[in-house]
A and B are shown apart, each in its own frame.
Chain A
Amino acid sequence: MRRMSPTVVAVLQTVAAGTVYGFEIIDRTGLPSGTVYPALARLERDGHVRSSWEDQASAFAEGRPARRHYRITAAGSRALAAALAEYRALLPLRPARTRGTP
């Protein structure tokens, strides 16, 4: 499996927080829609997220059509954990110089 890019990880992380729709992810991540949607499509293709249509009744109550909701899958959770672990592993690699004494 290919490594996930930071933007894809950000999107997956947002989805992991709960059931969300596309524009919500845009609002939370601040990423452009042209990045978020292809990321979602790729995650769904790879089985990391699953989409479903919102309940008709609740949408109707708000006077709008039903949105598409994204939820993280078990495989997605594992992939997210692995990706985050990988990024964390980078932390100790900070160059010594940034600590202070030259």
Chain B
Amino acid sequence: MTRTGRWCRRLVDGAAWLVPGDSRDDWRREWHAEIAGYTAPARAGGAARRGLVWRVLGAAVHAAWLRWDRWRGSMWTYDLRIAVRSLLRQPAFAAVAVATLAVGIGANAAVFSAVYAVLLRPLPFPAPDRLVALTTTGPRAPQVGMESSPPDFVDWHDGASSFSAMAALSADAVAIAGTTPAEQVPGAAVTGEFFAVIGTTAARGRVLTVEDAREGAAPVVVLGDRLWARRFARAPGILGTHVTIDGVSREVVGVLPPGHAYPLDAELWIPLGFSAERLATQRGAQYLDVVARLGDGQTIERARADVATVAARLAAAHPKTNAGRSVVVRPLREVVVGDIGPSLLMLLAAAGLVLLIVCVNVAGLVLTRALGRAHETALRASLGAAPWRLIRAALTETLVLAIAGAIGGTGLAWIGARRIAALEAVSHVPLLGETRLDGTVLAATALAATVTALAVGLVPSWRTARSVRLAGAQGTTRATARGGVRGLLVAAEVALALVLVVGAVTLARSFVRMVAVPRGFEVSDRILTASLTLPEAQYLTPALRASFVERVLAGVRALPGVESAGAVFGVPLTGFGYSITVRDLDGVRQQDDPQTEKLLALRAVTPDYFTTMRIALEAGRAVGPQDVLGQPRVAVVNRAAAALLWPGADPLGHAVTLGTHLGQDDVRTGGIIVGVVDDTREGAVDRPVRPTLYVPHAQDPTSVVAIVVRGAGRTPDAAAVRAVLAGLDPDVPLFRVRTTEQLASTVVAQPRLLTALMSLFAAAALLVAGIGLYGLLAQAVAARVREIGVRRAVGATARDVAALIAAHTSRMVGLGAVVGIAASWAASSALDRFVFGRHGPDVAAYAAAVAALAGVATLAAAVPCRRALAVDPATTLRSE
């Protein structure tokens, strides 16, 4: 049999599932025989092959027709046709029901797709559940991304037996230069077993091996698919060529397949090895991430116990650095995703509440219809219709609504998922970019729609059943005007909506508090920050680095529209920077005790840094142009550092030394305190201010710096700054170019996203509750026209009639509000972790939510009220 023939048989076998079971075998046999006859040698060649494929596609139509033909005759499709027709007869009702269902289902599907992408979908590596990350905790709390030291890693690697492979990596942005302009790309230096851990093989060439990490091995690099596509246009001859990375020429030995990067944003990988000297001296230098793959038959608990043994041994052998530190083994996903989980789950809960409100609302609408038809139902029942037939007809109608709502909701979710995926870059939620509607999400959506249909259908079915029972007891089927059940449903909607509105307002107020916290420097679009890294191979000496940075700044200052420019090691607002132990305080060597040691964040700054950033000088002087190499070493502290080191005393004239060499081989960082500056809040505002030591960059010239440029009244031109740098050294790229405003908004991006989505859901909830309220009031007024007319005739004023409607409205809204407030109050502790600067219920938020609700209720009641006031008593009486 030919390849086409086999393919056609598979298609037929696939389509056979549509064919009704009793004729399926015959159907398959017929098509297989026709295909076999067709592929006989008599008909050969491309045209015949295409003809066969074309014919076999008809098999699917045939199968679908047979299924449809079978369905068409059944009672179920009869119900379906009746349901569709009766819904189309009331298009306004159908449109409102379908639209609200679409919003509820769509919101859930979109949020679930994000939850699935971030928290549930397996990472793109083989057996991803076997991947773990090793981190440490203890008094020397690790800084961001600095979890293990080279000697610790080697001891874990050699000492723990429950892993099949373990690797350390140091993720950092690296400069890649060559034929095209230099650029900075995220990369990672990885130890030999790294690719064995993540289980990725190269799409071209090979991955890095243990051999590549040995001392003296030829320098090599593995490229990620994105980088290969972007910078090398997927050149097939890339293997064996050389690229310059941070000043080192490396041979490209491999390219990874798309979507297999770890860290997720990394674009290139270079080998990481440790010299004997580093292993001997760097026990306390925690700058490595450690990942490992559990061995066959090993559990994470066994691995934990295993690693704890190693850690205890290390603590005993190296008490100075390792005492009190323990190793934490966690699934890799947990480490990748961080603490975004609760926020996403809260959003999912909020979307679930919206769907619940929608269900209650549509149930109310459907119930109104069921009541309107109670007479017909009772008649049909008394004529002998089986009760289950009547209930099935009612359920079919809600099923049609739910299916239409699910289709609309899937469309909305598709748009929503794309919007959410696009938010990864601004919100910094890992894996959010992977948000999409896949089979799992669609299956969950279908499940939600089914549950919705059942929930919505229950009430009218019950009502139908009651009509059937009442049919025996003749009459009494006229719908009651007040509609107790529907009133309760509307109250429930109000209560649920109130919970969401209270939550949204609480978060919004928290967000406002958060951005209102003074940061200690100017947040504006006039200050541009940009990073650059000098290749250490070319800028070997401190003097070379200091003079290069000074030349860059001089060039930038000469640009038109630039007011001032400075440089800093430790980019503001990015969380980047080291915390380093105080070694000497006023000449006194501090004890190496992790319990009492003092940690300072370290910044190396040029003289203009403080004025450019508008960081206020509180005492003494700032770093000056005279503070260069060879001059007495000076430093500036922020208020937090002054309070930490010399509580209650004037810090000026005191001396401090940190336990590090910063860009200089044998000189420890620190000096005489010459000034005190204001505290700056650079990370999340709910974290305490970090005690910070500023040293002159000219005395500690780091190779990594951020330049900060202040424009005269406008944003400085980034391209011009880039040109200045390119003119001095084309191989040094400028990267992470942001204004301080952009940086500050990045820090609050996640709370802002959370607040925005919660507000969206709350608005949707209010809208749906308003629709429900309006629907009920309009119906009630219509049912009471006669009563209102009689009241007007016997002397009731317009005010009395309005009061009647208002009383009816406020009964339902009041009940809902009381329940909603109680529920919000009970749930307020769940919100605490997302709220900045306060705990417990935010009373003002409750007031605002109730006010918003009252506004919506008034709007919803206005139209029915006008209609009630327009009732003409004379007309009413004549019709009596």
Check if B560 is an interface residue, CB within 8 A of chain A: no
- 1/0 contact string of A57-91 vs chain B (CB within 8 Å): 00100111111100000000000000000000000
Residue of A41, A45, A54, A62 near B40 (CB, 8 A) is A62
Known interface pairs A64-B37, A67-B30; A33-B58 also in contact (CB < 8 Å): yes
Main SS class of interface, B? helix
B420-440, CB < 8 A from A: none
Check if A100 is an interface residue, CB within 8 A of chain B: no
CB distance from A83 to the nearest CB of B (A): 20
A residues in contact with B59, CB < 8 Å? 33, 37
Check if B76 is an interface residue, CB within 8 A of chain A: no
Check if B69 is an interface residue, CB within 8 A of chain A: yes
Check if B158 is an interface residue, CB within 8 A of chain A: no
A66 vs B29: C-alpha distance in the bound complex, in angstroms? 8
> Are A68's CB and B26's CB within 8 A?
yes
> Are A37's CB and B58's CB within 8 A?
yes
Check if A6 is an interface residue, CB within 8 A of chain B: no
> Are A38's CB and B40's CB within 8 A?
no
| A54 to B, closest residue via Cβ | B33
> Are B58's CB and A41's CB within 8 A?
no
Residue of A23, A42, A53, A54 near B55 (CB, 8 A) is A23
> Are A67's CB and B57's CB within 8 A?
no
B32-62, CB < 8 A from A: 32-34, 36-38, 40, 54-62
> Are A38's CB and B37's CB within 8 A?
no
B residues in contact with A16, CB < 8 Å? none
> Are B62's CB and A38's CB within 8 A?
yes
- 1/0 contact string of A29-43 vs chain B (CB within 8 Å): 000111111100110
B residues in contact with A63, CB < 8 Å? 40
A residues in contact with B54, CB < 8 Å? 32-33
A residues in contact with B32, CB < 8 Å? 65
A55 vs B790: C-alpha distance in the bound complex, in angstroms? 86
A residues in contact with B488, CB < 8 Å? none
> Are B62's CB and A41's CB within 8 A?
yes
A residues in contact with B57, CB < 8 Å? 33-34
A59 vs B60: C-alpha distance in the bound complex, in angstroms? 25
CB distance from A86 to the nearest CB of B (A): 24
| B34 to A, closest residue via Cβ | A23
A48 vs B362: C-alpha distance in the bound complex, in angstroms? 48
A53 vs B32: C-alpha distance in the bound complex, in angstroms? 13
> Are B69's CB and A42's CB within 8 A?
yes
Question: How large, as a class, is the contact surface on chain A?
Answer: 20 to 34
Check if B66 is an interface residue, CB within 8 A of chain A: yes
A23 vs B61: C-alpha distance in the bound complex, in angstroms? 15
Total number of B residues with any Cβ neighbor in A under 8 Å = 22
> Are A68's CB and B29's CB within 8 A?
yes
> Are B29's CB and A33's CB within 8 A?
no
CB distance from B32 to the nearest CB of A (A): 6
Residue of A37, A62, A67 near B62 (CB, 8 A) is A37
Check if B78 is an interface residue, CB within 8 A of chain A: no
A42 vs B281: C-alpha distance in the bound complex, in angstroms? 86
Residue of B36, B55, B60 near A65 (CB, 8 A) is B36
A65 vs B32: C-alpha distance in the bound complex, in angstroms? 8
Residue of B30, B40, B55, B56 near A68 (CB, 8 A) is B30
Known interface pairs A33-B59, A37-B59; A65-B65 also in contact (CB < 8 Å): no
Residue of A21, A38, A66 near B61 (CB, 8 A) is A38
> Are A68's CB and B65's CB within 8 A?
no
- 1/0 contact string of B569-597 vs chain A (CB within 8 Å): 00000000000000000000000000000
Residue of B34, B36, B38, B65 near A41 (CB, 8 A) is B65
CB distance from B41 to the nearest CB of A (A): 10
A33 vs B12: C-alpha distance in the bound complex, in angstroms? 13
A residues in contact with B55, CB < 8 Å? 23, 26, 32-33
> Are A23's CB and B37's CB within 8 A?
yes
A residues in contact with B38, CB < 8 Å? 23
> Are B33's CB and A34's CB within 8 A?
no
A101 vs B37: C-alpha distance in the bound complex, in angstroms? 55
| A40 to B, closest residue via Cβ | B62
A22 vs B61: C-alpha distance in the bound complex, in angstroms? 14
- 1/0 contact string of A1-40 vs chain B (CB within 8 Å): 0000000000000000000011100100000111111100
A42 vs B66: C-alpha distance in the bound complex, in angstroms? 9
CB distance from B12 to the nearest CB of A (A): 11
| A33 to B, closest residue via Cβ | B58
CB distance from A54 to the nearest CB of B (A): 8
A17 vs B334: C-alpha distance in the bound complex, in angstroms? 72
A67 vs B65: C-alpha distance in the bound complex, in angstroms? 21
A59 vs B32: C-alpha distance in the bound complex, in angstroms? 13
> Are A34's CB and B66's CB within 8 A?
no
> Are A64's CB and B30's CB within 8 A?
no
B residues in contact with A22, CB < 8 Å? 30, 34
A35 vs B55: C-alpha distance in the bound complex, in angstroms? 10
A45 vs B66: C-alpha distance in the bound complex, in angstroms? 10
| A38 to B, closest residue via Cβ | B65
> Are B58's CB and A32's CB within 8 A?
yes
CB distance from A35 to the nearest CB of B (A): 8
Residue of B34, B36, B40, B61 near A34 (CB, 8 A) is B61
B residues in contact with A62, CB < 8 Å? 40
Known interface pairs A41-B66, A41-B69; A67-B61 also in contact (CB < 8 Å): no
A residues in contact with B26, CB < 8 Å? 68
B residues in contact with A54, CB < 8 Å? 33
> Are B58's CB and A34's CB within 8 A?
yes
| A21 to B, closest residue via Cβ | B34
Known interface pairs A37-B65, A41-B69; A65-B58 also in contact (CB < 8 Å): no
A63 vs B38: C-alpha distance in the bound complex, in angstroms? 12
A62 vs B40: C-alpha distance in the bound complex, in angstroms? 9
B residues in contact with A37, CB < 8 Å? 58-59, 61-62, 65
Most buried by A among B29, B54, B62, B66: B62
| A63 to B, closest residue via Cβ | B40
CB distance from B66 to the nearest CB of A (A): 6
B residues in contact with A53, CB < 8 Å? 29
| A64 to B, closest residue via Cβ | B36
> Are B66's CB and A67's CB within 8 A?
no
| B31 to A, closest residue via Cβ | A22
| B40 to A, closest residue via Cβ | A64
> Are B58's CB and A67's CB within 8 A?
no
A68 vs B31: C-alpha distance in the bound complex, in angstroms? 9
> Are A65's CB and B29's CB within 8 A?
yes
A100 vs B734: C-alpha distance in the bound complex, in angstroms? 85
Residue of B33, B37, B62, B66 near A33 (CB, 8 A) is B62
A residues in contact with B60, CB < 8 Å? 34
| B61 to A, closest residue via Cβ | A34
A36 vs B57: C-alpha distance in the bound complex, in angstroms? 12
> Are A67's CB and B34's CB within 8 A?
yes
Q: What 13 new A-B contacts, CB under 8 Å, besides A22-B34, A64-B40, A65-B33? A: A23-B38, A32-B58, A33-B54, A33-B55, A33-B62, A34-B60, A35-B58, A37-B61, A41-B62, A62-B40, A65-B36, A67-B33, A67-B34
A-B contact pairs, 6 of them (CB 8 A): A23-B38, A33-B59, A33-B61, A34-B61, A37-B65, A67-B37
Report the 9 A-B pairs with minimum CB-CB distance, sorted nearest first: A33-B58, A34-B61, A34-B58, A37-B62, A38-B65, A68-B30, A33-B55, A65-B33, A64-B36
